């Protein structure tokens, strides 16, 4: 049951972060503009700093205007306020979790999960046979599968995206195929993988490959297609060679889009790996979840959920940092 519902969740989530773009018809359905990602956080940081300056200049005015205790209790540094809000959010979340756990005693509460987590993480790299290994090995095996499948997808998908984006004919040629295959639930590919590779591990990697390739193809193609005409005019006026156009104009101009595609792809890959491993077994977070479900160690399942979330968040943040590095001050 669980395994059956998971892939659906996977595809849903791969579509939600996307903002539909008007351009390019069916192919550009899951495009997030590169500005969308790094921009809000960058701007909010600047706003925060401005607020800080304003408050620093006229602290008395604020107190007089709002009157007494409220203004005085407000922290001087808005980052402190943000930190407090974060902490409060976590506290509320844990409290709600504890409340639910008391209503349903079969669900482990925060304290029980925490104790179990201490035990799990005390020895992350033990090996007790092929089906019983430490959480560290589970995380690393999942990351390795994602890394290989995603890496292959990048090697294939980004060049394809460039070619599709550069040549309208190829774009039209591939649009129906991509449009048809992209929405297919990742796990639907698994039987084909099992049939072709006759082994679970390559099949899982293949599922990662096929499900994470689409955002990279599509975003790269849109990125190449949206290279400003000004830059292409420069290329035309200078009569640059196709190689120079690619390395000096198309690649740098499309890079933010490519990185957005990479970010979406990693997200999809990380969503899919848990479901794929549930079905293929071996070592990995997905398998671990399924194993602990069979053992009815529900607290371990909750630990796995947190681990999946934290690793996914870390991957996303790392790629956001990378994307900001390559914004060339265009969006700043």
Partner 1 sequence: MDRYLQIDSVSVAFPTKSGSFTALDNVSLDIDQGEFVALIGHSGCGKSTLLNCVAGLVRPTRGYVFLANREVGRPGPDRGVVFQNHSLLPWLSCTQNVYLAVERVFGTTESRKQMMERTARALALVKLAESAHKLPHEISGGMKQRVGIARALAMEPKVLLLDEPFGALDALTRAHLQDELIKIVAQTRSTVLMVTHDVDEAVLLSDRVVMMTNGPAARIGEVLAIDLPRPRDRLKLAGHARYIQYRSAVLEFLYRNHEPAAA
Residues in the site for partner 1, rule: CB under 8 A? 230-231, 233-234, 236-240, 244, 248-249, 252-253, 328-330, 332
* Helix and strand element counts for the chain (H, E): 15, 0
- Residue 127's SS3 state is strand
Residue 69 token pair: 């205790």
Residue among 97 and 231 whose Cβ is closer to partner 1 = 231
Contact 27, 221 (CB under 8 A): yes
- Residue 296: left (phi > 0), alpha (psi -120 to 50), or beta? left
Output the smallest distance, CB 132 to partner 1, in A.
50
| Distance, CA of 275 to CA of 112 (rounded, Å) | 26
Find the shortest distance in angstroms from Cβ 238 to partner 1: 5
Task: Give the residue with the Cβ less far from partner 1, 178 or 249.
Answer: 249
Q: Can you tell me the distance from the alpha carbon of 223 to that of 215, in angstroms, rounded to the nearest whole number?
A: 12
Measure Cα distances from 227 to 75, 187, 256 in Å.
Answer: 44, 35, 11
Q: CB 162 → partner 1: shortest distance, Å?
A: 17
Provide, rounded to whole angstroms, the least separation between the CB of residue 198 and partner 1.
46
Smaller CB distance to partner 1: residue 72 or 236? 236
Nearest 10 degrees: Cα torsion 207, 282, 294, 136 = -100
Query: Rounded to an integer, what distance in angstroms lies between the CA atom of residue 180 and that of residue 174?
Result: 10
How much is the CA Rg of the chain, to the nearest whole Å?
24
Q: Give Cβ neighbours of residue 72 (< 8 Å, ≥ 6 apart).
A: 63
d(CA 83, CA 313): 18
For 186, counting Cβ atoms within 10 Å of its Cβ (0-12 exposed, 13-18 middle, 19+ buried), the class is buried
Q: Which residues pair with 127 in a beta bridge?
A: 133
Q: Which is nearer to partner 1, 69 or 239 (CB)?
A: 239
Cβ proximity to partner 1: between 9 and 325 the closer is 325
Q: Are 315 and 264 in contact (CB under 8 A)?
A: no
Closer CB to partner 1, 79 or 244, in the complex: 244
| 69/229 with CB nearer partner 1 | 229
- Could you tell me which of 180, 182, 251, 244 has the C-alpha nearest to residue 211? 182
Residue 324 C-beta: closest distance to partner 1, Å: 14
Residue 110 in contact with residue 90, Cβ under 8 Å?
Answer: no
Residue among 136 and 252 whose Cβ is closer to partner 1: 252
Q: Which two tokens stand for residue 126?
A: 């033990």
Which residue, 250 or 279, is less far from partner 1 as judged by CB? 250
């Amino acid at each position: 049951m669980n395994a059956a519902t998971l892939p659906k969740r996977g595809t849903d989530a791969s579509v939600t972060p996307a903002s539909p773009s008007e351009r390019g018809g069916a192919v550009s359905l899951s495009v997030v503009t590169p500005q969308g990602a790094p921009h809000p956080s960058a701007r909010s940081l600047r706003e925060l700093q401005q607020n800080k300056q304003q408050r620093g200049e006229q602290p008395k005015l604020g107190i007089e205007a709002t009157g007494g205790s409220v203004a005085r209790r407000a922290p001087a540094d808005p980052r402190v306020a943000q930190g407090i809000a974060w902490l409060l959010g976590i506290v509320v979340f844990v409290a709600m979790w504890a409340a639910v756990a008391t209503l349903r005693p079969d669900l482990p509460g925060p304290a029980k999960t925490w104790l179990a987590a201490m035990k799990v993480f005390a020895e992350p790299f033990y090996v007790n046979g092929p089906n019983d290994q430490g959480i560290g090995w589970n995380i690393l095996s999942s990351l390795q599968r994602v890394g290989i499948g995603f890496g292959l997808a990048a090697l294939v998908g980004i060049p394809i995206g460039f070619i599709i984006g550069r040549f309208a004919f190829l774009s039209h040629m591939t649009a129906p195929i991509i449009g048809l295959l992209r929405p297919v639930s990742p796990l639907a590919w698994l039987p084909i993988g099992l049939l072709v590779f006759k082994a679970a591990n390559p099949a899982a990697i293949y599922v990662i490959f096929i499900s994470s390739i689409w955002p990279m193809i599509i975003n790269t193609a849109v990125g190449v297609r949206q290279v400003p005409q000004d830059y292409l005019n420069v290329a035309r006026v200078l009569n640059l060679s196709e190689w120079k156009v690619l390395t000096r104009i198309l690649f740098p101009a499309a890079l933010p889009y490519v990185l957005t595609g990479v970010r979406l792809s990693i997200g999809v890959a990380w969503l899919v790996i848990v479901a794929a491993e549930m079905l293929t077994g071996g070592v990995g977070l997905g398998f671990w979840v399924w194993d602990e479900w069979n053992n009815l160690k529900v607290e371990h399942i909750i630990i796995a959920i947190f681990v999946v979330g934290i690793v996914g968040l870390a991957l996303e943040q790392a790629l956001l940092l990378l994307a900001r590095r390559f914004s060339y001050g265009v969006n700043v």
